Amino acid sequence: MLWGGRFKKELHPRALKYSSSLSIDIELILEDIEGSKAHAQMLAKIKIISQAEEKELLEGLTQVENDWNDGKWKPDPEKFEDIHSAIESRLFELIGETAGKLHTGRSRNDQIAVDLKLWVRKKTETLQELIKNLQLTLVEISSENLETIIPGYTHLQRAQPVSLAFHFMAYVEMLERDLLRLQFLKNSLNQSPLGSGALAGSTLPLDRDFTSSKLGFESPSQNAMDSISDRDFVLDMLNTCVIGMMHLSRLSEELILWSTKEWNFIKFNDEVSTGSSLMPQKKNPDLAELIRGRTGRVYGNYISFASVMKGLPLSYNRDMQEDKEPLFSSAKIYSESLETMKLILCNINIYKNRFNNELSTDSVLATDLADWLVLQGIPFRDAHEVVGNIVKTLEEEGKNFMDLNIDVLKKFSPFFNDEALKYLELTSSLQRKKTKGSPNPKFVKEQIEYWRKKLRH
């Protein structure tokens, strides 16, 4: 134990088992060694330890790291409270009493805080790369589907025709916001808590600027109490995972719907599908369903830790040990889901002409027809009512937009002429869009080129 001096008896085995976090925070082993090396170098710089002792500590920490990486050493959760005590014990085995000097001027409180910040910083970079890879996959699929017309929906009711490229590029924009959230998080990690001690700094002349620089931070933190009690960055990471998984879940849901017999728009390849143990004909989109399902776990992780933090007085409380399990879980689920979504998208077949005939008979061009009346000088509310009456009448008569001709149109408004019939042509509907950000293939293609350049830079 790192704190046993004032106690007469050792911690009860059941209490140790309940309080030990080693099985979880062993994830921080490399970050803990990194922080410890910087601390040892700083102690030598301010002459608290000798250069020989510094060398011993650094070599010992490197040996611990190598033994871990090579599988020669695995700490026992029944013997240690956490990864910090396990590393220190191993260091004592390797180099003897000098190991006891490593904790000089350091508390587990600032040790934990710096480990977590280092871990989250690395994870943000990993997630950013995975998001960019998924964005690029969507961009490339979009480039092949500029003219693949699909129904756009509001309220899950057919609204207006769009292209699959336009639809997928919406997810590229969503993912970019996920990237921005991660960048904000990364920027917020620029102050080092190392040297804050338990909550009030140290009477030793610790060089916090030195350790801050060594560990890649911009500066030391400005308030030791805040440094120790701060877990905002953990909540920011959990929230980033929540929103990111929500985006992946929405895409999963659409892919699942599109793969049904009712939609019949895409087909999952065998590599990303499973079957039924009972029904021989089944081909199920299980990977997309798992992404959708695991989103709930990520939501729960955020609520779980936010609830832990809401009533804690400053500074450190053992409740905060509960930060790691939801953090590691959410980051793992999110990173694996990003990789899996890319795999799914690279293994689907798209039926590009699926909706062409069907939408030609649908009323999805009703807004286009109303817009044409507006161009003739009709107030939009009047144009809206005229076209609404057309749709209602066609439904009552069991007809569709393909049955419209100029004689029929003039029954609803004298302003109609032959030019209006062009606004009922599905193949040219996307090209008629005038506004940037619309599914006009010209604008979508410009966006594709923009994102290609940006993501490959």
- Give catalytic residue positions: 155, 276
Instruction: Please tell me the distance from the alpha carbon of residue 16 to that of residue 413, in angstroms, as a whole number.
Output: 83
Q: Are 273 and 283 in contact (CB under 8 A)?
A: yes
Q: Are 264 and 208 in contact (CB under 8 A)?
A: no
How far is CA 200 from its chain centroid?
A: 35
Q: Are 291 and 248 in contact (CB under 8 A)?
A: yes
Instruction: Please tell me the distance from the alpha carbon of residue 200 to that of residue 227, in angstroms, as a whole number.
Output: 10
Q: Are 342 and 137 in contact (CB under 8 A)?
A: yes
Residues in the chain: 457
The residue type at 339: E
Residue 231: CB partners within 8 Å, gap ≥ 6?
116, 305, 309, 320, 323
Residues 350, 424, 421, CA angle at the centre, nearest 5°?
150
**In three state form, how does the secondary structure of 44-56 look?**
HHCCCCCHHHHHH
Q: DSSP H helical segments within 321-365, as ranges?
A: 324-345, 356-360
Instruction: Please tell me the distance from the alpha carbon of residue 225 to that of residue 312, in angstroms, as a whole number.
Output: 13
| Tokens of residue 165, six digits | 């490229």
Residues 177, 181, 186, 188, CA torsion sign: positive
Residue 58: CB partners within 8 Å, gap ≥ 6?
37, 40, 41
| Tokens of residue 172, six digits | 């590229």
Cα-flanking dihedrals φ and ψ of residue 152, to 5°? Answer: -90, 145
Cα-flanking dihedrals φ and ψ of residue 281, to 5°? Answer: -80, -10
Q: Which residue has the tokens 């009712």?
A: 262
Q: What is the CA radius of gyration of the chain?
A: 30
Instruction: Please tell me the distance from the alpha carbon of residue 224 to that of residue 29, in angstroms, as a whole number.
Output: 24
Residues 58, 60, 62, CA angle at the centre, nearest 5°?
70
Strands 191-192 and 157-163: unpaired
Cα-flanking dihedrals φ and ψ of residue 350, to 5°? Answer: -110, 125
Omega before 307 cis (within 30°)?
Answer: no
